[in-house]
Amino acid sequence: MSTQDRPQLYLITPPAFELESFPDRLAAVLDSAEIACVRLDLATRDEDTILRAADALREVTIARDVALVISEHVLLAQRLGLDGVHLRDAARSVRAARKTLGPDAIVGCFCGTSRHDGMTAGEAGADYVAFGPVGTSALSDGSQAPFELFEWWSEMIEVPVVAEGALTLDLIRTLAPVTDFFGIGSEIWEAEDAVAALKTLNAAMG
C-alpha cells in the first residue's frame, strides 16, 4: 500500500453478508473506482464461514489486482494466501504477525484514538495505522479520532494512516489533506447503490 497526495480508498466489508450476492456488489464497486485494498472484516468466528467468504472475495480482488487483507486471523491469512492482516489490538501483535507472514505481507493495525499506540505499531513494523472512529454513530462510545491527530501524524510520521469509522462528506473534505487512506465500509454498503455512494464520497476528497 503506497501513499500519494490524494487519499486512496480502502474498502471494509460488512460484518456479515450474503455469499451469493456480495462478491458481485464488491466487483461492481472495484470496477467503478481505484481501490487500494479490501479488508474482509466479518464479525463471525466460524472458520468455515470465513474461509468461504475469503475464497469468494479473493477471486474478485485478484482479478482486479487489488490487495485483500483479513481482520485478526493471521494464520488464515497465511493459509489462504491473502495479502495480509488487519489487527485490532493496537500494537500488541504487530511484531508476531510480521514474523509469521514475512516482510512482503501487509500488516495493518487499528489504534483507536491513541497516538502512542500508533507510534508503537509503526515501530513494530506496521505498514499502516488506522485511527477512528472519526465520526459519531449510535454504536460508538463517544470517542473520536480528531483532526489534530491526523494532522500531527501526517507531519511527523512516515507510516501511512487510515481514517475510518462513521465518515461523512464533511469529514472527508476536512481530513483529505491529512490522511493517506479512507477506510470505507457501512458508508456505502448500507446504501441501495454502493457504486453511487462511493462516487459521492470519492468526489468529496477533492
User: What are the structural domains of the chain?
Assistant: 8-74+131-203 (3.20.20.70)
Cβ–Cβ < 8 Å for 137, 156: no
- The pTM (predicted TM-score) of the whole model is 0.95
Cβ–Cβ < 8 Å for 117, 111: yes
pLDDT at 91: 84
Cβ–Cβ < 8 Å for 125, 97: no
pLDDT at 76: 94
pLDDT at 3: 43
For 186, residues 6+ apart whose C-beta sits below 8 A from its C-beta are 14
Three-state DSSP class for residue 126: coil
For 51-54, which contacts have Cβ atoms below 8 Å and span 24 or more sequence positions? 51/76, 51/80, 52/19, 53/13, 53/17, 53/19, 54/80, 54/82
pLDDT at 139: 62
Show the beta-strand stretches assigned E in the chain: 8-12, 35-40, 67-71, 84-87, 106-110, 128-131, 161-164, 181-184
Low-confidence ranges of the chain (pLDDT < 50): 1-3
pLDDT at 5: 79
pLDDT at 60: 98
pLDDT at 2: 40
- CA–CA distance, 182 with 117 (Å, rounded to integer): 19
110-138 pLDDT tens trace:
999 999 999 999 999 999 999 999 998 76
pLDDT at 140: 64
The three cell numbers locating residue 16: 456479515
